[in-house]
A and B are shown apart, each in its own frame.
Chain A
Amino acid sequence: MKRFFVAILIFTMTLLFVFVPQVSGSEASEAPSSVLNIADLKDRTEVICTTISRRTSFTDESESAAELLSEMLIRCGLTASVQSFSVKRQVYENFFTPSIAEYTSYNVVAQTTPVDGRKTVLITCPYANHYSDNPVFSGTGAEGALGTATSTALLIELAAYLQNNVDTNLYNFKFALFSATDEGNYGSKAYVENQENSLDDVIFCVNLERLGGGDVFYYTDEVATPHGKLVSEVAQSDLKPFPSVGRVILDYSTVDGLEYSHYAMLGDNSTFMSEGKACLELIGGSFDGLRSGDGKGFATNTKYDTFLSLNEIYSDYADKLAAAGELVIELTSKSELSDAVSGGSAQWYKVYTKSWIAYAIGLGIIVLLIIALLWVTKVLDKKYPLPKQPKIKIAVFGSEFEDANEDEIIVDIKRKDDPKDDDPFDI
């Protein structure tokens, strides 16, 4: 038996090391030949990091950052504008006096020249960083190079490319650059609530997030969907499906109706999944830890997230941006996309994530256990009844002794002063 427990111990420890999922790697991949220019992507990233380094949500600087990004998109030939939105938060001046504070931030929206009869694809990314203090986060003084600059650069380059090819595109394209993503996807939620931004004609949403570091992962939904299948068919080998094996589940909700999240659900795509839209999340990183796993000590939204660090640690970041961009271009050049996304985001499986249902089933099992317990005790009672206990009888007269049977214990009480008896209570 000792051996058995030693075996259990060894088995457990083996599982620790064998089953710890190693889902990402740093294997080198060949630089993809892309329709997007690598040098342009690098230049765009540098411009965003240097000229719009201050892009913190809920600060005055976010307005000027949004205006600069809007100008960039207009220079690419798109129509673009800045949309402000406000978020109310309860703040405490001291422990007893709460008050409601209102904070304003800014999104940038743009679109290619619309063509009648085409359906619309929405491409989004967060643009804000944590350069300065805001009501939620302390400032890091870093440009947020990997955090948001690379994805913003890719979005702008994609916008320029798709605007240049507006005549041959199969779809109209809308673009949205959100602030306040890390603070709770407030930018995308405001975008959805803003009636100027109708989602009726939007059939597919693509969100670009933290691209350039680690690997590029694509994620569509929690279960297999037609658009997920199409994405995996189109994706090149250097893009990876977001790992389902060993996925770290977070016990808070970002998508409506789903009682958990994971790292591909924390971005603005969750807002559009909540709206039932078919989505594609393109996210960079290495998901081999329990946290977001940026890897190599390069954590986004920290003081290390600088353009200098990006070039030192991820010198091939522009290749990864190009690979991600190419997927978007190729996917949206397919007429099948329209049919593949017609079902929107999958909804059926959400019943299996409702923990209260499982707890209710658990209570049902307990009720069955109670019934089983009552039945077992009844059976045991019948099978092994208590042995008959002899009755205690006080003998006063001789007839009790004479009439006693086997079930009776006769207690013989004698007088205390009986000189023949030393112990009057000896029975």
Chain B
Amino acid sequence: MSIIKEKKIKKGLMNFFLYLSFCFAGWYSSRTSVASVLSGYAGYGFLDNDIFAFFVAGVVPIILYLLIVKFFAYALKRTPNLPVDDMVYALPYFYIGANIVTGLISIVYFFVPLMSFWGGIIVPILATAGFFILYLRFICVNYVKNYNWKAIVMYFGRLYIVLTLIFTAWGLLSAVLL
């Protein structure tokens, strides 16, 4: 973990790795989206491939991630005893872990497409939750005095749950309504 504490990799490079991990995690579902869009249009053969689907998979997630993180980092900047910069720096490492797990499991979907419907929804929730717990533990142990752990866990745990709840509820509404 010294690589995180000593900030050995530049923030921009970490964000690029994060983007690649989002591409990997979302590759399978991106193929669906790209194919569904392209099936209505002739003449877009140059986009008709897995490589395009791979790289397009990470675009929306990385933008959303950066916007949300920037927003909360700015909002919490002046909070006393909160190592905001360290927290922002460390987050991609754990998110990349979650994305790799999600991506590795999604390889199974290539062989058993039926698994993709439940797996594509449930696995990212479980993977990100698992790595977020590790992230909070890392932050607490390394940057926060132990009597503040409760406050940190409660605040950021609640934040994570609310964001996940919003995205899941949106997915549920889309699945039911659309």
Name A residues whose Cβ lies closer than 8 Å to a Cβ of B. 1-2, 5, 8-9, 12, 15-16, 19-21, 222-223, 244-252, 259-260, 262, 289-293, 297, 299, 301-302, 349, 352-363, 365-366, 369-370, 373, 376-377, 380-381, 384-387
Contacts and interface: CB of A to CB of B under 8 A. Distances in A.
A302 B42 contact: yes
Interface stretch (B33-41, B60-68, B71-79, B83-91): B33-41
B110 A246 contact: yes
Contacts of B96: 5, 8
A250 B168 contact: no
B114 A8 contact: no
A362 to B, nearest CB: 5
Contacts of B157: 369, 373, 376-377
A353 B117 contact: yes
21 contacts: A5-B17, A5-B96, A12-B20, A15-B103, A15-B107, A21-B110, A244-B113, A250-B36, A251-B36, A291-B35, A293-B48, A299-B42, A349-B114, A358-B117, A358-B120, A366-B165, A366-B168, A373-B161, A381-B150, A384-B150, A386-B147
B131 interface: no
A168 B75 CA distance: 82
Contacts of A251: 32-33, 36
Given A290-B31, A384-B149, 15 more contacts: A8-B96, A8-B100, A16-B50, A21-B110, A245-B111, A290-B49, A290-B53, A359-B168, A363-B168, A365-B122, A365-B129, A373-B161, A377-B154, A380-B149, A387-B147
A380 B150 CA distance: 5
A402 B126 CA distance: 60
A222 B111 CA distance: 12
Given A247-B113, A248-B32, A381-B150, A355 B175 contact: yes
B51 interface: yes
A245 B108 CA distance: 9
A376 B149 CA distance: 10
Interface string B149-167: 1100110011001001100
A290 B38 contact: yes
Contacts of B48: 289-291, 293
A376 B129 CA distance: 14
Contacts, number: 161
- Scoring A354, A357, A369, A386 by chain B CB atoms within 10 A of each residue's CB, the highest score goes to A369
B69 interface: no
Nearest to B167: A362
B153 A373 contact: yes
Contacts of B35: 248-250, 290-291
B6 to A, nearest CB: 10
Interface of B: 2-3, 8-9, 17, 20-21, 23-24, 31-36, 38-39, 42, 45, 48-51, 53-54, 96, 100, 103, 107, 110-118, 120-122, 125-126, 129, 146-147, 149-150, 153-154, 157-158, 161, 164-165, 168-169, 171-172, 175-176
A367 to B, nearest CB: 9
Contact of B117 (A21, A291, A354, A362): A354
B31 A358 contact: no
Contacts of A290: 31, 34-35, 38, 48-50, 53
A8 B113 contact: no
A380 B172 CA distance: 34
Nearest to A292: B39
A15 B117 contact: no
B9 A2 contact: yes
A358 B51 CA distance: 28
Given A2-B3, A373-B153, A352 B118 contact: yes
